[in-house]
Structures are given as structure tokens and as C-alpha cells.
Chains A and B, each alone.
Chain A
């Protein structure tokens, strides 16, 4: 069975499209998950999608709907019980353990064929129906719109909540909003790669991207790119190797990208460190004259990745000019 033949089949096309949708949404939220230290929240909401799916199956015969509603309930619970960052992880642990127990109980009540619920645990990319695709597309659209509108305040609140609060950013409300978006994304991703493997599309891409750049926009772009490459690349490989689950290749590719980024990262970082040390002495020696041009050759742009070129590459003449008042 050739790959060309497979690509002409609707189930394979659905799978590729579903993987791409999940990857884009996962890649978009991934940098915030990493910056806000919410990897465990991803894990918790992902596993509890199983409970939601079991409930949906029992009540409405619809595991996807159950998982979606369940994810919002879980997000609200985490936000309520784990409002303070310090207690968040333990709150998630408590909710997760209880929720999984409920899931097993619910599944016990269900008399039918429970593959739909267990599929949520391990993913069933080749079983994506047209309506599921629509759900994934809707989730993707919500995530893109929400991130497009609240990108800046969310980033500000994630990096420096105290200053953001003083600047008028609704830090707590944004935190809840992000949890809801995260729960939706994770539930969507669970259908493709399974809850146990969601981390590979919602965390790993940004973890890799952050090794290569410090520009938030570049990290966002790289993160989406890495997620799509892993998801669709893994799927294409699984077309060739038919007796291994696609999840295996998706997570492996994602991890390989992460490892490569970690290997490549230190090279960039090392040179940045040199730059930093150089400026330390310069800074100390000329501490009272901070506007003076740098005494150390090389700007960060010459040592760092290309996406930084927009920043520090101003001509030296401009740098030496007296500061202009910020206009408002």
C-alpha cells in the first residue's frame, strides 16, 4: 500500500488535517504553558478528558462533547482551588486523582463498547470523523481569536504579573481565560494523540523554541512550526510503517526536535553569555555614564538568532545620540 494511495483516502486526509489543527492550537498555547509553568495543568486536564468522555458517553452517547464540557469544568476547578501559583500543582494533583476515580466509576456503568473513551487515552487519529474535524476547527478558531486579542496582556501577565496588575492588566481574569483555552486545546489534542501524549504538542514545541530564541513572536512561530512538523510528519511516517501507532512517531519527532534544540541552544547561549560578561565590566567601569556606546565589539544581533535583527541593530551613531523623550 503506497503512500500516494493512502493520501487519496478520506480517512488519511482527515487525519492529516486533524493533526495540523491540533498542532497549530497546541503550538500557539505552548509558549504560555511553558512560561506560566503549567505543564502539570496540561497533564491534568488531558487525563481528565477521559473522565469527561466517559461521562459524555454515559449521559449523551457523545464522548467528545463530554470531554469538552468536562475540560471546562476542570479548568474552573483548577482556577478556584489552585488560584495561588504555589498551591496550583497540588490542587491539580488532588483534582486529577479524584477525577480519574470518577472516570473509572462512570465507565463501569456504561454497558456498551467503551473504545470511544479509551481512545481518548491513547488517541485514534484514523478514526477522525467529519464532525470531529469540525469541532477541532472550531476549537482552533477560538484559540486563534482569543490569543490574537489577548496576546499582549497575557504575555505581560505571564512574565511580570505584579507590574502588569499595576498597569491595569486583569491578571486573574486572564489566568482563568488561559486555563479555559488550555483545557479546550488539550481536549482537542487528546483525540488525535491521546491524553497521555498531549504534552508532546502542548509543551515540547515551545520548550524547544525557547532554546533557540528569546523573541516572543519568534518563539510562537517556531513553536507552531515544530508542532505541525511533529504531528503531520509523524503521521506521514506512520503511513509507511503501518503496524505502529501514529502517536509513537508524533511524540518521537517532537522529542527529537526538542533534543536538537537543546543541543543547538547552548551554542547561541554561550555566545550571548560572552556578550553579557563583556558588558558587565563595561557597565561597572562606566556606571555613571550609561548612555555611552558599548566598548565591546559585537551587538547581540551578531551573536544571536536572526529574529533578533529587528531589535538591537541600530547604527552606532543613533545609539550615541542623546535620548529623545518618549512621546505620548
Chain B
């Protein structure tokens, strides 16, 4: 395993999950998860709130142990703070008064975990800022930047360490469509150029459809994995939820419509079901579930 990792050089890391189970007390989050993510592959994790999507990222980050089963990244157990793994946490909008500039945020990705006084590692920081196209505003206080600009800087931070695996938690949440497109373009180009393995949690498949190789859908303690075309179907999702779910295409957008509350609104156009009432409800014919 080790020699393979060494030979792959700048390429992505492979993830292997076997019989992976996570429980909190008696509550099963997901169980017997088997998944292989190839180096350089892009996996989207979908599912309703509380299905354990972020939890899975925490397992890959080495922050949470599995209750049962195994997980490896490039043949080794996940380790907290690994330089191989870049992480973009779920967005928390920065306070306008936060005393820090964009490039300081990116610099954390280079040496934020190291001891000693900050030394200028300008080349690495500049390269990461350029990779997300944030050079023109990287010197401004982060709190004064837009949500999309902040998100690009956070991605730059995660990329600054040159990771082989990039984990993003809802990278498009609360972004306007133009910013979503920009962020997807950044991720897509970076992945193409560096062969980085990308895993991200998302509410909506549509904006990232061009980027995603495979989908892992988790719901109600069950899971399904495969190409977006095979997973995002009425049959697969209905089986997962244990109730009838409609997957329909509207103007090229994939919409998941369910009546049991658990599924409704998850594939909201803006990715934020809390912002508006679930749109799925009125499409739902009576008598299902």
C-alpha cells in the first residue's frame, strides 16, 4: 500500500470503507457501509438532515472512530491533522469585525497547526489563492467579503497544504447560483489538474452534476452508492427511505419529492431547506408512504 501511495505522487488518495457502522448509543446512524473511492474520484454524499453525512466526513478526518468495521485512506487509518487531507468545514459566515485578512485565513492551511512565529510562506499561500481566483480580494478583511468569496478562500486554505484528499461539507450552502457555479468551477479545475480525490457533502446534486463521478446516498440508517444515474432514481431512493419517493427531472434539475417529511425539500434549489418551505410537498400525490 505504501509503495503505491508513494508512486502515485501528486494524485489523489483512495478511501476504503468495509462494514463501516456508526452508532450513537443505540441509535444507528448508518451501518455495514462498503465503499471504495478510487484515487482522483469525486464522490458526493447526499441525504436528509441528520442522516450522518457530516459524521462520515468526521470519520474520514480521524475525529470520530467507527462503532464497527474499518476505514482506510491510502491503506492507513485516518489520522487527525493529516497533511494528506484538506477540509472545508460547513460554512459559518465570518463576523465583519474578525481581525483577519483573506490571505491569513489561507495561511492557516499552510502552517496554522505549526509552532513558532508565522514565517512568510508567501509562495504556497499565493499559489492556493491563485488556484481559487481570489488574488484580487485576498488582502481584504474576510468578514467584509461575500459568502462566495469567503468560501473560495476557505477552499484555498484546504488546498494550500497540497492535500491528496479534499473533504468539503456543504461547500455550496447559502451561496447564490453564480457563486455556486464559481465554487464548482474551482473545485472541478483543481481536481482535473491535480488528480485530487474529492468527497463532498451536499444537499443538491444538480449544481455539482458535472463534477460528480459517484453518489453515496444515506437515509434512515441505509445507504446506496453508484453513479448519479443509478442512485438518483425513484426505485433506489424509495427503497432507501422505505416509502415512496419521486425523483423527477425538471428543466435539467433533479428534484427529489417525498411525502414523509424526512425526504421533502432535501434537494432544494438553494440547498437550504430552512430558508423556504419545502417545495416538494405540493408535488406529492396523496396516498403514498
Contact = CB atoms under 8 A, between A and B. Distances in A.
Partners in one complex: yes
Interface of A: 31, 34-35, 148-153, 155-156, 159-160, 162-169, 206, 209-210, 213-217, 219, 269, 272-273, 275-276, 279-280, 283-284, 287-294, 296, 299-301, 304, 308, 310-314, 319, 321, 323-328
A323 B193 CA distance: 10
Contact of B108 (A160, A272, A313): A160
A287 B149 CA distance: 11
A292 B133 CA distance: 7
A328 B161 contact: yes
A75 to B, nearest CB: 22
Contacts of B61: 166
B92, B108, B176 — most chain A CB neighbours (10 Å): B108
Given A165-B63, A308-B101, A324 B130 contact: yes
A209 B99 CA distance: 9
A280 B81 CA distance: 34
B40 to A, nearest CB: 15
Interface stretch (B12-20, B69-77, B113-121): B113-121
A218 to B, nearest CB: 9
Given A272-B140, A312-B135, A319-B136, A287 B115 contact: no
Interface centre among A162, A219, A276, A283 (most CB of B within 10 A): A283
Question: Nearest 7 A-B pairs (CB), nearest first?
Answer: A168-B81, A290-B133, A312-B139, A328-B162, A214-B141, A156-B112, A287-B178
B196 to A, nearest CB: 10
A279 B137 contact: yes
Contacts of B149: 279, 283
Nearest to B96: A269
A289 B77 CA distance: 37
Contacts of B140: 214, 272, 275-276, 300, 304, 312
B216 interface: no
A313 B103 CA distance: 12
Contact of A34 (B10, B99, B144): B99
16 contacts: A152-B116, A159-B98, A162-B89, A163-B157, A166-B80, A168-B113, A214-B98, A279-B149, A284-B178, A287-B179, A288-B181, A292-B133, A304-B140, A310-B120, A312-B136, A324-B130
Interface in B65-98: 80-83, 87-89, 92, 97-98
B193 A325 contact: yes
Given A325-B162, A326-B162, A167 B113 contact: yes
Given A159-B105, A214-B100, A326-B131, A301 B139 contact: yes
A279 B176 CA distance: 15
Given A159-B105, A166-B87, A290-B133, A31 B146 contact: no
A305 B104 CA distance: 16
Contacts of A209: 99
A291 B80 CA distance: 32
B182 interface: yes
Given A279-B137, A326-B131, A311 B101 contact: yes
Interface residues of B, number: 70
A46 B194 CA distance: 53
B118 A217 contact: yes
Contact of A327 (B63, B117, B127, B130): B127
Contacts of B122: 310
A310 to B, nearest CB: 8
Nearest to B109: A167
Contact of B134 (A164, A287, A290, A313): A290
Most buried by B among A166, A169, A299: A166
Contacts of A216: 99-100, 104, 118
Contact of B112 (A31, A152, A313, A326): A152
Contacts of A284: 176, 178-179
B181 A287 contact: yes
Contact of B138 (A155, A287, A311): A311
B262 interface: no
Given A156-B108, A311-B101, 15 more contacts: A155-B108, A159-B100, A164-B108, A167-B113, A214-B140, A215-B104, A216-B100, A276-B140, A279-B137, A283-B179, A284-B179, A287-B179, A300-B137, A312-B135, A325-B131
B157 to A, nearest CB: 7
A155 B81 CA distance: 16
A149 B88 CA distance: 26
Contacts of A325: 10, 127, 131, 162, 193-194
B159 interface: yes
B99 A210 contact: yes
Nearest to A265: B97
B182 A288 contact: yes
A326 B139 contact: no
Contacts of B157: 163
Contacts of B181: 287-288
A146 to B, nearest CB: 11
Contact of B139 (A162, A308, A327): A308
B128 interface: yes
Most A C-beta atoms less than 10 A away, residue of B104, B120, B132: B104
A219 B152 contact: no
Nearest to B120: A310
A31 B176 CA distance: 33
